[in-house]
Chain A
Amino acid sequence: MDSKFIRNFSIIAHIDHGKSTLADQLLLKSGTITEREFREQILDDLDIERSRGITVKARSVTINYKLNGQNYELNLIDTPGHVDFHYEVNRSLAACEGALLVVDAFQGVQAQTVANAYAAINVNLEIIPVVNKIDLPVIRVDEVLEEVENVLGLDASDALRVSAKTGMNIETVFEAIIKRIPPPAGNPNAPLKALVFDSKYDNYRGVVTYIRIVDGSVKPGDKIKFMRAGISSDVLEVGQFRPEMRACGGLGTGQVGYLLTGIKDLSLVTVGDTVTMAVGGTDQPLPGYLKPKQMVFCGMYPIDATGFETLREELQKLSMNDSSFSFVPETSDALGFGFRCGFLGLLHMEIVQQRLEGEQDMDLIQTAPNVTYEILTRDGQVRTIDNPQDVPDAGVIEEFREPIAHVSFIVPSENVGTIMQLCQDRRGIFKNTEFLGPQRAQIHYELPLSEIVYDMYDKLKSVTRGYGTMDYEVIGFLAADLVKMDILVKGVRVDALSTIVHRSTAERRGRSLVKRLKNEISKHQFEIAIQAAIGSRVIARETISALRKNVTSKCYGGDITRKRKLLQKQKEGKKRMKQFGEVEIPQKAFLTVLESNREDG
């Protein structure tokens, strides 16, 4: 197909503004899918994302559309909406010439609208503002368009007004895509140059490589080369997503589709790599992407020690399809053998955990998440720390550095004060505030990433009753007065409960942590002190008093079975506890500490 009849575009939006629904509506109206298929959000083929209304893995789909008697090939490259997946957004955008910027007709511009729009602007995409949900009873289209102009600096005069849900005005979207987004510019006669914008592992077909042809063309039988990886392979199949994988005779300049090469190892196919011909190919690779940086880490342990190998297999499977997730074995006195896992952010972590527990049916203990730190030692070395257990003695540390993120909040004007207070309490550095209109403001802060990870999302949501949104980007490491806080239970340090905290918040967090632990550990025959300590200095303490009476009064004929079962259950529970010195700590304690991280602090 002549590339002037091809359009490559993405849809970008804040979560829940209707990106997926619009995508589905485009597929439906173009006959790519049936009415029945439309009922499902077919672009999100992972349950978790669907249930959360978030697309995580970028996918693409090829749509045929006829306008004024001419056939066009429209390639929709889906993008993840969440802040954790910035880099996936960027790599998708790099394969497009334009983007539909979907904005909710009532909610207007939100934090991720801004982040995603800027990402698109940065790569010079043609942006078409689309005001969605105009079928809702309460909308404020004019204000929303004003926000688009003021905040994003886009021309909103010819913004589209649609309802993805009802299909209202969807034809205007096709028309705008064809008329306003430029066709791909590549040279069909130049040597093959194609961008790898995604990849996945398929159990039957090996690695599926998602490509966008920039120059030249590719067909089955070609011998191609992944330039960065330096590996060559025969092309076994070329095809498009319609939306299922459908083989075709070849892909030409500007087209989007997939390659099957017989490569079985996903790690060999790097997103951002350039594909060219093994012989006579280009020697100028495409710019590619920055590798995503993992900023959030946690330990994951099987509840049952025998689950270690299973967990390893499952993590391996997951990492095959998610190169932004990593894991290495680690050992904890408290939890035994497990893995330290790295994630792009909190949501990414949650998704991986849910996938393990939900889809693989595994019971996991997850330690409290922490960010990556840097330590400059006295002898001038810089060490990266992604596990509190690895923090060296205070005497060795010259400088303890933490990641700082630039955070932007969009919140109702009445919440500005509260948000600023929250940031202030979390060691934030105020940058500036912009009012987006009379009712909403955008606030910029620099905040330690650890504070964001700790509870910022939940605080923001509760303070703004769900109306506030945020987005962040890590901008560097800064020295801070950081310390490792240990938890001692009857004098024994519980490694899995150690955390890195700022000295100014250590006492507050220590107090709340020991209080929660007190509720999780049952009474023993002796008194148990639960302490939070920095080095040898105790900063918080709770005491569990000794068990003074524990005997069932009645055990007659009708009580025996019940009593025995009750005690057997307790015994099962005890088996699942971990022994620290003389104290048994239920594994649930580790979870509770993690969960309630978000409730206070």
Chain B
Amino acid sequence: MTKHNDKSADTSAAESSPGAAEPSVFTQTQTSQVDESGVTAVYIHVPFCLHRCGYCDFTLVANQDDLIPDYLAALKNELESTAADHAFHGPQSMDTIFIGGGTPTHLSPSHLTELFSLLQRYFHLTDGGEFSVEANPDGLDDDRIRVLKDFGVNRLSLGVQSFDDDCLRLLERRHSAAEAIETIQRCSDEFDNLSADLIYAVPGQSLRSWTTTLKSAISLPLSHISTYGLTYEQGTPFYRRANSGELRRQTDETERQQYLTGIGLLKGAGFEHYEVSNFAKNGFRCRHNQTYWQGRSYFAAGPGAARYLNGRRSTNCRSVARWIRSWSDNSPCIQESEDLNAEEKAREFMMLALRMIDGLNIEAFERRFGVSVRTLAGEAIQRHIAGGLLEYHGKNLRLTAEGLLLADSVVVDFL
């Protein structure tokens, strides 16, 4: 019961790091100004769930709640080490804090309190900052909501996935549509920044069912919605079942129709489509996630969490047990780490920027990277403009409506 398919549920976290802080190149930035001298985003991964859904390949454990105290102890060590490495003097000011999972709210109120208390020793949310927590509709009781509120959480991202009980069952979620609606309504009393994840292209899901789900979401007090096409990740039960023919994948034509339907309905209901999978009411774009997409730095802690600091992307090991064991001994547990050179940074930046609806601001890009977009990808740009997948819009290069549907085919040529 995690909110898989949820943004950043895997890892990540943010902040413009010292040294890595570069000016935003996006025309429309809803984030606050980046502190050039410091990282302003952090991601914390909480790898616990009540159960693992069949399509989920995230870093988490189910039915191992006995590990939670060890996890909290290990997290303390990792954060302490981060603080030492980056010379924290007291809690660092963060523009955005994102607690993802797993299901962070699977933790008991007392464990949650312990987690937040720990974080407070290292991070401090700036005025007007964004503090997100991922949660599932089931089990999000008033006690937990109370803890979240007390510690300043101001944005909830709910793993709703569907308002169709058949889909929810197939996805092995543990809540019903009615419960999801009830939870959203209850949360909306406390949070005005409320997001829901929805999944389409579920086997057997009709366009009508998807439309109903979208309309339900629109009718609820949500300020942000993410829509994800179901994927079959290697190693998951869904992957095996799809390959054995037990689950029937939707055709890409159906997936396309459902995706387009989502875009149409959500835009019609006043949501801005601002990234491939993300829609927000005015002023409610997820600032934390934009840290990722703008190529800025961020801290991260927890198993499987990924950070970007001083031009280095590194990911913690994905085994929860190994991460705990390692940090219990105060030794780092890195799965992979990569230093990006200037060109890789620039190309990665283009990849991320093009996935945003506003696209890539040419002038800002060239100011930041000192190289022209044309030099890096002139041929690809021409070809995709000719093919109707890219277009110029003012100073920006962006995907066309068709290009958005084939974004991977376009972006690949920028790498």
Contact = CB atoms under 8 A, between A and B. Distances in A.
Given A556-B9, A561-B313, A563-B351, 19 more contacts: A548-B253, A549-B252, A549-B259, A550-B252, A550-B406, A551-B406, A553-B227, A554-B10, A554-B277, A555-B292, A556-B7, A556-B12, A556-B289, A557-B8, A557-B12, A557-B300, A557-B305, A558-B306, A568-B415
A570 B408 CA distance: 10
Contacts of A525: 387, 389, 406, 409
A558 B293 CA distance: 12
Given A525-B387, A550-B406, A561-B336, A555 B415 contact: no
14 contacts: A547-B409, A550-B407, A551-B405, A551-B406, A551-B407, A552-B407, A553-B227, A557-B12, A557-B292, A557-B306, A558-B305, A559-B12, A564-B348, A567-B411
Contacts of B348: 560, 564
Nearest to B408: A550
Interface of B: 5, 7-14, 43, 227-229, 231, 252-253, 255-256, 259, 276-277, 289, 291-293, 298, 300, 304-308, 313, 315, 336, 338, 348, 351-352, 355, 387, 389, 404-409, 411-413, 415
A557 B348 CA distance: 12
Q: Can you list the 6 inter-chain pairs with the closest CB atoms, starting with the nearest?
A: A557-B12, A558-B11, A556-B8, A558-B10, A558-B306, A551-B407
Contacts of A550: 252, 405-409
A559 B352 CA distance: 11
A571 interface: yes
A548 B406 CA distance: 7
A519 to B, nearest CB: 15
Given A549-B255, A549-B256, A560 B313 contact: yes
A574 interface: yes
Nearest to B351: A564
Contacts of B352: 555, 560
B310 to A, nearest CB: 15
A358 to B, nearest CB: 31
A559 B229 CA distance: 16
Nearest to A563: B351
Contacts of B338: 561
Contact of A567 (B277, B289, B412): B412
Contacts of A548: 252-253, 255-256, 405
Contacts of B304: 558
Contacts, number: 111
A571 B306 contact: no
A574 B412 contact: yes
A578 B227 CA distance: 36
B348 to A, nearest CB: 5
A553 B10 CA distance: 13
Contacts of B291: 557
B308 A557 contact: yes
Contacts of A553: 5, 227-229, 231, 276-277
A567 B307 CA distance: 20
The prevalent SS among residues of A at the interface is loop
Interface of A: 525, 547-561, 563-564, 567-568, 570-571, 574
A550 B405 CA distance: 6
Contacts of A567: 351, 408, 411-412, 415
Contacts of B308: 557, 560
B151 to A, nearest CB: 22
B292 A549 contact: no
A293 to B, nearest CB: 48
B408 A560 contact: no
Nearest to B348: A564
A547 B406 contact: yes
A475 B168 CA distance: 71
A551 B412 contact: no
Contacts of A563: 351
Contact of B13 (A554, A557, A571): A557
Given A547-B252, A549-B259, A557 B11 contact: yes
B8 A558 contact: yes
A563 B292 CA distance: 13
Contacts of B43: 557
Given A525-B387, A547-B252, A548-B252, A558 B408 contact: no
A570 B412 contact: yes
Nearest to A555: B355
A550 B8 CA distance: 20
A577 to B, nearest CB: 12
A556 B43 CA distance: 11
Contacts of B415: 564, 567-568, 571
A134 to B, nearest CB: 50
A556 B411 CA distance: 16
A33 B393 CA distance: 82
A550 B14 CA distance: 28
A559 to B, nearest CB: 6
B390 to A, nearest CB: 13
A551 B259 CA distance: 11
A226 B41 CA distance: 85
A42 B306 CA distance: 57
Contacts of B227: 553
Contacts of B409: 525, 547, 550
A192 B217 CA distance: 101
Nearest to B258: A549
A561 B306 contact: yes
A552 B277 CA distance: 9
Contacts of B256: 548-549
Contacts of A568: 415
Most B CB contacts (10 A, CB to CB) among A548, A549, A550 go to A549
Contact of A554 (B5, B252, B253, B389): B5
Given A557-B8, A558-B12, A551 B306 contact: no
Nearest to B289: A556
A558 B8 CA distance: 7
A551 B402 CA distance: 11
Contacts of B336: 561
A556 B5 CA distance: 11
A554 B7 contact: yes
B146 to A, nearest CB: 28
B8 A549 contact: no
Contacts of A549: 229, 252-253, 255-256, 259, 405-406
A552 B229 CA distance: 8
A549 B250 CA distance: 12
Contacts of A560: 292, 306, 308, 313, 348, 352
A554 B275 CA distance: 10
Given A549-B406, A567-B412, A557 B298 contact: yes
A581 to B, nearest CB: 14
Most B CB contacts (10 A, CB to CB) among A555, A556, A567 go to A556
A568 B298 CA distance: 24
A554 B228 contact: yes
A568 B415 CA distance: 6
